[in-house]
């Protein structure tokens, strides 16, 4: 069986944090001098989730993002020029019925990807503990702009958005090269804000800030393209899109139509993980814009927000519908998002998480005869 992505069965990356890690992290936040204990708990948990993914049948595995607090802010805060500031809890980003913890990205200097970015070592740990393909998921370049308020962009030159976008693209191009040097051949850059920019309320918010949302979609696609265009031929790039994931809640809704052409045809990405578990994502018609060829879409018909299990018969019907718009050979299956985009995790049990991942494998075997 090939061990070269793309695979028919995959998942976005984050997994529920086990109690030992949660307890060690809580103790550290409360002032305990337990860095060694926390690292040991994380190492053990990551080895366990790697074995779980391999045992279930995945051919690409992640560390579950177990060393992170957030799917995005940890990576961003480790970039040169970025800081994460904690502020008034009432200022946290609004999700459905709950606010995100009040952590705010702040650009204080010229952006760069440091040679010792900690997530390079995170990747190496996975690579050293698996017999299949190691994968790491990081936030895409659009996240560094979309989630940073204009008032929190301090360098004068970055008041020109196109200058900021060019430096972000260069920073990420260096990240791509450094991950490749570390042995990474399957890198996922989650660029969920393409989907946010299909939501009327988020579009209106950006317009109120003086930013044309359609222009942003084009600029975000260009940033991704410029970041990955010089990658070696044997490096595969994935990209995940969703509408927010914090403790099983969401922050946006709206079909992909407004962004689909830019996403599929202007980014240069190889594999697209697309949330499709509820009506919030709209219809499958945007898949018609996927070019014929080697690109692959993994529609997220399996939700990570609840433990309710989908049936293979229902999933087959959804793929029959998807195949009206894209070649079935260019499709695969993954859950709609991660299980723990932040360390709090979604409102699902560990058994639910495993059963959902097993369903991904069974669905791929039922539809394509393998993973």
How many Å separate Cα 225 from the centre of its chain?
17
Distance CA 63, CA 57 (A): 16
Burial 54-78 (b: 16+ CB within 10 A, else e): eebbbbbbbbbbbbbbbbbbbbbbb
HEC string for the chain: CCCCCCCCECCCCCCCCCHHHHHHHHHHHCCCCCHHHHHHHHHHHHHHHHHHHHHHCCCEECCCCCCCCECCHHHHHCCEEEEEEECCHHHCCEECCEECCCEEEEEEEEEECCCCCHHHHHHHHHHCCCCCEECEEEECHHHHHHCCCHHHECCHHHHCHHHHHHHHHHHHHHHHHHHHHCCCCEEEEECCHHHHCCCHHHHHHHHHCCCCHHHHHHHHHHHHHHHHCCCCCCCEEEEEECCCCECCECCCCCCCHHHHHHHHHHCCCCEEEEECCCHHHCCCHHHHHCCCCCCEEEEECECCCCCCCCCHHHHHHHHHHHCCCCCHHHECECECCCCCCECCCCCCCHHHHHHHHHHHHHHHHHHHCCC
Q: What is the pLDDT of residue 100?
A: 55
What pLDDT is recorded for position 29?
Answer: 82
Residue 87 pLDDT: 74
pTM of the complete model: 0.92
Q: Which domains are present in the chain?
A: 19-368 (3.20.20.210)
Q: What is the pLDDT along the chain (371 residues), one digit of tens a residue?
A: 568 999 999 999 999 999 999 899 888 888 889 999 999 999 999 999 999 999 999 999 999 999 999 889 999 999 999 999 887 655 555 445 555 567 889 999 999 999 999 999 999 999 999 999 999 999 999 999 999 999 999 999 999 999 999 999 999 999 999 999 999 999 999 999 999 999 999 899 999 999 999 999 999 999 999 999 999 999 999 999 988 666 556 567 889 999 999 999 999 999 999 999 888 889 999 999 999 999 999 999 999 999 899 999 999 999 999 999 999 999 999 999 999 988 887 889 999 999 999 999 999 999 999 99
pLDDT of amino acid 246: 64
């Amino acid at each position: 069986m090939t061990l070269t992505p793309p695979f028919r069965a995959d998942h976005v990356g984050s997994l529920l944090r086990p109690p030992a890690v949660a307890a060690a992290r809580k103790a550290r936040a409360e002032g305990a001098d337990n860095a060694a204990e926390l690292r040991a708990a994380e190492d053990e948990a990551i080895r366990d989730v790697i074995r779980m993914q391999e045992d279930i049948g995945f051919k690409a595995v992640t560390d579950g993002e177990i060393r992170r607090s957030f799917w995005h802010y940890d990576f961003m805060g480790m970039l040169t020029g970025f800081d994460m500031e904690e502020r008034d809890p009432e200022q946290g980003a609004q999700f459905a019925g709950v606010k995100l913890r009040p952590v705010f990205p702040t650009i204080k200097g010229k952006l760069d990807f440091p040679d010792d970015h900690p997530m390079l070592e995170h990747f190496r740990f996975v690579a050293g503990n698996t017999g299949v393909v190691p994968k790491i998921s990081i936030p895409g370049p659009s996240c560094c702009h979309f989630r940073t308020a204009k008032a929190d962009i301090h360098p004068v030159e970055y008041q020109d958005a196109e200058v900021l976008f060019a430096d972000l693209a260069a920073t990420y191009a260096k990240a791509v090269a450094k991950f490749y040097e570390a042995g990474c051949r399957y890198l996922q850059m989650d660029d969920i804000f393409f989907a946010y920019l299909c939501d009327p309320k988020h579009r209106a918010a950006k317009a109120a800030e003086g930013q044309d949302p359609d222009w942003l979609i084009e600029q975000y696609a260009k940033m991704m393209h410029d970041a990955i265009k010089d990658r070696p031929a044997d490096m595969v790039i994935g990209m995940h899109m969703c509408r927010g994931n914090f403790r099983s809640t969401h922050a946006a809704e709206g079909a992909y139509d407004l962004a689909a052409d830019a996403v599929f045809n202007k980014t240069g990405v190889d594999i697209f993980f697309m949330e499709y578990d509820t009506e919030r994502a709209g219809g499958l018609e945007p898949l018609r814009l996927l070019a014929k060829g080697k690109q692959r879409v993994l529609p997220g018909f399996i939700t990570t927000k609840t433990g309710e299990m989908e049936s293979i018969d229902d999933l087959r019907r959804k793929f029959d519908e998807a195949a009206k718009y894209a070649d079935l050979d260019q499709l695969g299956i993954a859950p709609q998002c991660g299980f723990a985009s932040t360390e709090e995790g979604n409102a699902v049990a560990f058994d639910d998480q495993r059963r959902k991942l097993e369903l991904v494998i069974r669905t791929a075997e039922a539809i394509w005869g393998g993973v």
